[in-house]
Amino acid sequence: MHQVVFRILGPLDISADGIPVNLTGARQRTIMSMLLLAPNRIVSVDTLADAVWYGNPPATARNQIAICVSALRKTLKAAVGAGDLLVTSHPGYMLFAGEHRIDAVEFEELAELGREAARGGRPEEACAHFGDALAMWRGPALEGITTERVEAEAARLTELRLDVYEEHMGLRLELGHHREVTGELTAFVREHPLREQAKGHLMLAHYRSGRRAEALETYREGRRLLNEELGIEPGPALQELHERILADAPELNPPPAPAPPATAAPRSVPAQLPSNVASYTGRGPELAVLDRLLDHLDGAALPVGSVTGIGGVGKTALAVHWAHQVGGRFPDGQLYADLRGYDEEAPLRPGAVLDRFLRALGVPGPEIPADQNERSALFRSVLDGRRVLILLDNARSFQQIRPLLPGTGRCCVLVTSRDPMGGALAGDYAFVPLHLGALAQDEAIALLSRVAGDDRLAADPAGAARLSALCDRLPLALRIAAARLAAKPHWPVRTLVSRLEDQHRRLDELSPDERGVRAGLRLSYRDLPSATARMFRLLGAANVPDFSAWAGAALLDIDLLDAEDLIEELVDAQLLVPQSATTGHVRYRFQALPRLFAREVALEEEAAQELRAATRRVAGAWLGLAAEAHRRIYGGDYTVIHGPAQLHPLPADLVDSLLEDPMDWFETERVAITGLVDQTSRDDEAAYAWDLTMTTVTLFQNRNYLDDWRYCAERSLEVARRTGDRLGEAVMLHSLGTLGILSWEHEGAVGHLKLALRLFEEEGQDQGRALVLRNLALCGRYRGDLDRAREMGHQSLELFRAGGDQYAEAHVLGLLAQIELELGNAQASLVLSSEAVVRSRGLGTVRGEAQSVVRLAEALISQRDGERAEEACRRALGLVRTSGDRRGEAHTLRVLGEALWCLERMDEAEAVLDDALATAAKVPDRYLEGRAGVALGGVRAVRGDRSGAAGCFKAASDLFAEVGAPSWQGRARRLLELLGEGGGGLDPAEFFTLVQP
């Protein structure tokens, strides 16, 4: 069973053997807090309910408390391996602490040990106990849990902390530490101005330090506050101390320093920590992680913490801040060294650091051996039995820090580095790793405001948020940006934002000197091996937000595993960020500033022709995968036109792994493909741009990414025209025409399609002609020109059959079936839709088969064969939901609702059509929404819900007017008229007929 550490002297924090245990929800945290405030004692259900619901519990409170406790038990059992921590005992529950640790309990135990030592005349021992007790506090007790009962008990703990602090200060004054405590007491009195004992300690510390006037001023200020706040005079003890100071009473003099034993060697207590950062902000959870190092003090293994992260993320600031917070736990001193692991200068040698540390610990220079191994051994000997905190900043490697590690668990080491070192530290030490990421948004803005020193950021919250994002929320970049604002008080926030938004200027703006962002990135880049550095450059030059290792393999034209090794080296150097591997392939991304630097060095160091070749390779890899994904979705290389862009082949097993779910692959790569279309368009690589766009319409249409579709098609059309690529121009005109149909912009769609048709004819491209004729047939159908639509549909069908495009053939058969149905030729529609189903099944394509089956169902409904229509729709619904085809799902639900109406199962029909209407609205597809609304209105009218029916018909009429479907708009209006003319009864058959095509 693991040992659990419960911390309540600060925000609630639970860990099992150093691993965090996370509680979900405010109720669980409140209940756990209440039980921790009364360990090994029963807390009644009524008390817990009163705490959770702020004195107003609901009738179901007991059940809800039981559910919460059960969830807590499961969480703790999963973390600890035992289920007996939370015990049910009438009339409530008890936390059985056993061998587990609660910091509040340990605090009170240490405080009592301190008092016993003080009563026994051992002030130094008492100070050590009090110091250890006070160092356990990480902030206000149970910070963030606001229930009144918890706050009341937390206030008791806070009062106890203040009492212990005053006792501690009194003992330190007895020991003659008046100069050391003056600053600390001044801050304490400022925070707690009505505590007379602390004020007396401060007066005495001032007096013994030769600052008599300040001692008297402290009394006068305290007396004024007591008079103003409480209307009382200082107590007798404070008044008596005041009188003694006025009289220079000899008993106030400091005690004589005890003479050291004749045999004792001088014991030096180093205090080498750098000063705390004045504008330090946030990082509460990260500080709590480092606090776990303290749990391992006095253990068998040396506690070693590691803070890693990209340059400028604030590793040193965090480490120094934490070290100052916990310094009281290390009475034998704090050692610090900047190891210069990533500076322009050579890294500091361990032997030189050992020399400095040994001298700081009181070892005379002549006694320090020359050999590094002997120095390291002496260092461990000197530290034996001492409690020292060692902060090793900016370390380069484990080899650099290994000689500097003590051999005792009483000490603690904290390392900052860009190298995680986990492989070397885990297992041999009580290792606590912390990877430091960007600041949270609110912390970043708070840091900007502190450094800028005025209200400009608070007055422009949107500008402040944008500024923090442009700085990657990295403390170094944020401080530089805020310093720019501080130096330019006449600049509004938006002025600096506009300067940083220029990607060509951003690094310049954030690199005012040798300590800026560019300098830090260059130091990381400088130490990369040549192959790794080239991977960094070429990845930065690729316009993709995230990627897998196969993209790096294509960029460098190397083996996949070699590429993965190079990318992982960039992760270790904190220049890339790994993301979760939900699909079995780890993805990586740049932060914005490293990406800008990578592009900058790519332009500096790579030849233009090599950058162009790398872009072609990586675009060819994405295009090859997109084409294969399309083939797997459509059952073949159907409905697309490819150009001369050269593909970059990837291993077959990798392709199979990536495309296990082709549509999921498209979804994952959508933003990357859009970025590559933009990049290849800018580079005049037209064939890659338009082929990627054409092939990815599989995703754009199926998942309704119409803005991405339009952007890619327009960019690709521009580059095709600019480079004279007439095939690409025709393909993108066709693509924009298809998009126009889906967006109900029929006039614009017809214009694009006619231009595309002319170009395809000139190029002798029959597949392109067929695709355009099919889409012109769709436009004709939607606009009510059914005869012309039928003619063009048959022309496209002949071309598709001649070219062997079976998927498109099935699709056109379904379209012709719809046209025949709307012309009143139900039998012809049934024949055509049945043939479409047969063609689709032969291809093994889910989407195509679903479309054909729905067309068949519509034909069956026109024959009043509701039973077979329902069966067909149920099968189609399973297909579209499996493939994630939202538009297809809305179509299928609408036809299924009509089939159920045909079967007079009106309750089911209404529910399904209501679902169809909601699904169409989410796609969104206004025409589909109108069709579903008309059918739903018909069902409601037949059921006697005239108001609901009228609302559906009116909304549908408006939708049909919006998309330019006059025939269906006329039907919706006629249905409204029938509803008004219905009088005492409505004709269900007439309503059903009007709802059908």
Look at residue 490 and tell me whether its pLDDT is greater than 70: yes
Spatial separation of the C-alpha atoms in residues 725 and 693, rounded to whole Å? 15
Q: 777, 792 in Cβ contact below 8 A?
A: yes
Look at residue 192 and tell me whether its pLDDT is greater than 50: yes
Look at residue 673 and tell me whether its pLDDT is greater than 90: yes
Look at residue 624 and tell me whether its pLDDT is greater than 50: yes
Spatial separation of the C-alpha atoms in residues 616 and 553, rounded to whole Å? 13
Look at residue 265 and tell me whether its pLDDT is greater than 60: no
Look at residue 591 and tell me whether its pLDDT is greater than 70: yes
In sequence order, what are the residues at sequence separation of 6 or more whose Cβ sits closer than 8 angstroms to the Cβ of residue 981?
none
Look at residue 834 and tell me whether its pLDDT is greater than 80: yes
Look at residue 946 and tell me whether its pLDDT is greater than 50: yes
What is the greatest pairwise CA distance in the chain? 119
Q: What pLDDT is recorded for position 713?
A: 96
H helices of 84-211, in order, are 103-119, 123-134, 148-174, 178-191, 196-208
Prediction pTM value: 0.65
Over residues 634-671, the pLDDT tens digits come to 877 888 899 999 999 999 999 999 999 898 899 999 99
The interaxial angle of helices 530-541 and 560-572, nearest 10 deg, is 90
Q: 572, 614 in Cβ contact below 8 A?
A: no
Structure tokens at 315: 């590793």
Strands 4-7, 101-102: pairing is parallel
The residue count for the chain: 997
Lowest mean pLDDT among 53-62, 763-772, 867-876: 53-62
Over residues 705-727, the pLDDT tens digits come to 899 999 999 999 999 999 999 99
590: DSSP letter: -
Identity of the residue numbered 602: A
Over residues 267-294, the pLDDT tens digits come to 578 988 888 876 777 888 888 899 999 9
Q: How many C-beta atoms lie closer than 10 Å to residue 706's C-beta?
A: 15
Q: What pLDDT is recorded for position 754?
A: 95
Spatial separation of the C-alpha atoms in residues 948 and 937, rounded to whole Å? 7
Look at residue 258 and tell me whether its pLDDT is greater than 80: no
Q: Which residue has the tokens 């003056």?
A: 182
Q: Which residue has the tokens 């209440």?
A: 34
Q: 943, 910 in Cβ contact below 8 A?
A: yes
Q: What pLDDT is recorded for position 986?
A: 64
Identity of the residue numbered 46: D
Over residues 841-859, the pLDDT tens digits come to 767 666 777 877 888 888 8
- Could you tell me the pLDDT band of residue 262, with boundaries at 50, 70 and 90? very low
Across 361-370, 634-643, 765-774, which has the greatest mean pLDDT?
765-774
Spatial separation of the C-alpha atoms in residues 219 and 661, rounded to whole Å? 77
Q: Which residues of 879-898 are buried (b: 16+ CB within 10 A; e: fewer)?
A: bbeebbbbbbbbbbbbbbbb
* Strand ordering across the sheet containing 303-308: 334-338, 389-395, 412-417, 303-308, 430-435
Interval 769-775 mean pLDDT: 94
Look at residue 12 and tell me whether its pLDDT is greater than 80: yes
Spatial separation of the C-alpha atoms in residues 558 and 534, rounded to whole Å? 12
In sequence order, what are the residues at sequence separation of 6 or more whose Cβ sits closer than 8 angstroms to the Cβ of residue 422?
306, 431, 433
Q: What pLDDT is recorded for position 260?
A: 47
Q: What pLDDT is recorded for position 275?
A: 84
The interaxial angle of helices 766-782 and 746-763, nearest 10 deg, is 160
Count Cα atoms within 13 angstroms, Cβ side, for 161: 25
- Could you tell me the pLDDT band of residue 345, with boundaries at 50, 70 and 90? low
Could you give the percent of the chain with pLDDT greater than 70? 96
Interval 684-699 mean pLDDT: 94
Sequence-distant contacts of 352-358: CB under 8 A, at least 24 apart: 353/404, 354/379, 354/403, 354/404, 357/270, 357/390, 357/404, 358/382
Look at residue 3 and tell me whether its pLDDT is greater than 80: no
Interval 936-952 mean pLDDT: 89
| Nearest alpha carbon to residue 203 among 191, 215, 193 | 215
Look at residue 728 and tell me whether its pLDDT is greater than 60: yes
Q: Which residue has the tokens 């009738």?
A: 59
- Could you tell me the pLDDT band of residue 617, with boundaries at 50, 70 and 90? very high
Q: How many C-beta atoms lie closer than 10 Å to residue 287's C-beta?
A: 19
Look at residue 329 and tell me whether its pLDDT is greater than 60: yes
Backbone φ, ψ for residue 227 (5° rounding): -65, -45
Spatial separation of the C-alpha atoms in residues 384 and 361, rounded to whole Å? 12
Over residues 55-112, the pLDDT tens digits come to 888 888 888 888 888 888 888 877 766 666 788 777 888 887 776 788 888 888 888 8
Structure tokens at 568: 């992982």
| Nearest alpha carbon to residue 882 among 919, 846, 922, 934 | 846
Q: What pLDDT is recorded for position 245?
A: 84
Q: What pLDDT is recorded for position 926?
A: 85
Interval 217-233 mean pLDDT: 85
Count Cα atoms within 13 angstroms, Cβ side, for 693: 38
Look at residue 440 and tell me whether its pLDDT is greater than 50: yes
User: Which of helix, strand or coil describes residue 15?
Assistant: strand
Spatial separation of the C-alpha atoms in residues 956 and 958, rounded to whole Å? 5
Could you give the percent of the chain with pLDDT greater than 90? 30
In sequence order, what are the residues at sequence separation of 6 or more whose Cβ sits closer than 8 angstroms to the Cβ of residue 685?
612, 615, 616, 619, 645, 719
Q: What pLDDT is recorded for position 583?
A: 56
Q: What pLDDT is recorded for position 261?
A: 45
Q: 433, 464 in Cβ contact below 8 A?
A: no
Backbone φ, ψ for residue 651 (5° rounding): -55, 145
Spatial separation of the C-alpha atoms in residues 352 and 375, rounded to whole Å? 10
Q: 313, 444 in Cβ contact below 8 A?
A: no
Mean pLDDT computed over every residue of the chain: 86
Q: What pLDDT is recorded for position 788?
A: 92
Strands 430-435, 389-395: pairing is unpaired
Q: What is the DSSP string of 346-408?
A: PPPPHHHHHHHHHHHTT--GGGS-SSHHHHHHHHHHHHTT---EEEEEEE--HHHHGGG--S-
Across 356-365, 436-445, 621-630, which has the greatest mean pLDDT?
621-630
81: DSSP letter: S
Q: What pLDDT is recorded for position 84?
A: 66
273: DSSP letter: P
Structure tokens at 130: 């009090």
Q: What pLDDT is recorded for position 831?
A: 86
Q: What pLDDT is recorded for position 826?
A: 81
Look at residue 436 and tell me whether its pLDDT is greater than 90: no
Look at residue 163 and tell me whether its pLDDT is greater than 70: yes
